[in-house]
Structure 1
Amino acid sequence: MARKITYKYKNQRKEINFAYDVYHDMYEAIAAEEGIDLTNYLAMEQQIAMTSKGGAAVKDFRTKEFARFGFSDIYFVKDDPHTNE
């Protein structure tokens, strides 16, 4: 089942389709959509995950880095089951 992600990139609202068989998470999908290379980011995220206890440090790093890239308001769009699209 395809999902949609909505986000702001440099204060411009955008919406894209998302599927887990293509991307690991929504952050990788929006970075790919905007042409951002995540090689260094993913290496640092992995290091933080290995050295920190719990997921709070990784989540904080992700939030701050994607804000630095120019992203904000990132979330999945909830489908209304009562609409026939």
Structure 2
Amino acid sequence: MAFRIRYHYGKQLKEMGYANDKHHSVYDAIAKAEGVDLTEYHRMEDQLAGVCRNDRKTLKDFREEYFRKLGFSDIVIEREF
């Protein structure tokens, strides 16, 4: 199923297509579209996942804060019909 992602980056509203079979996550897709290297993010996310195995809220909060620091905001996912 295809989706549309709408987000703000660099004070500009942007929109792009997203398919689950092409990207690991929505966040990976928008970072790739903007040319942001996520090597450090994935390393830290893996470490955090090992410590907080059953705590999805901690991982979500980490992800949202990390991308906020990168300059992304107002990430909205919409299903295409």
Q: Distance in 2 between matches of 1:30 and 1:6?
A: 9
Residue matched to 1:68: 69
Identity %: 44
**Alignment size in residue pairs:** 80
Q: Which runs of 5+ in 1 are unaligned?
A: none
5 Å-filtered alignment, 1:7-46, equals 7-46=7-46
Q: Distance in 1 between matches of 2:79 and 2:8?
A: 17
Query: What's the Cα RMSD here?
Result: 1.2
Q: Distance in 2 between matches of 1:56 and 1:48?
A: 12
Q: CA deviation at 1:56?
A: 1.1
Q: Distance in 2 between matches of 1:56 and 1:50?
A: 14
Q: Which has the higher strand share?
A: 2
> Do 2:2 and 2:79's aligned partners in 1 also have CA atoms closer than 8 Å?
no
1:12-33 deviation digits (Å, cap 9, x = unpaired): 1000000111101110000000
Q: Which has the larger radius of gyration?
A: 1
Using CA pairs below 8 Å that are at least 6 residues apart, which structure has the higher relative contact order? 2
State the SS of the aligned residue for 2:75: strand
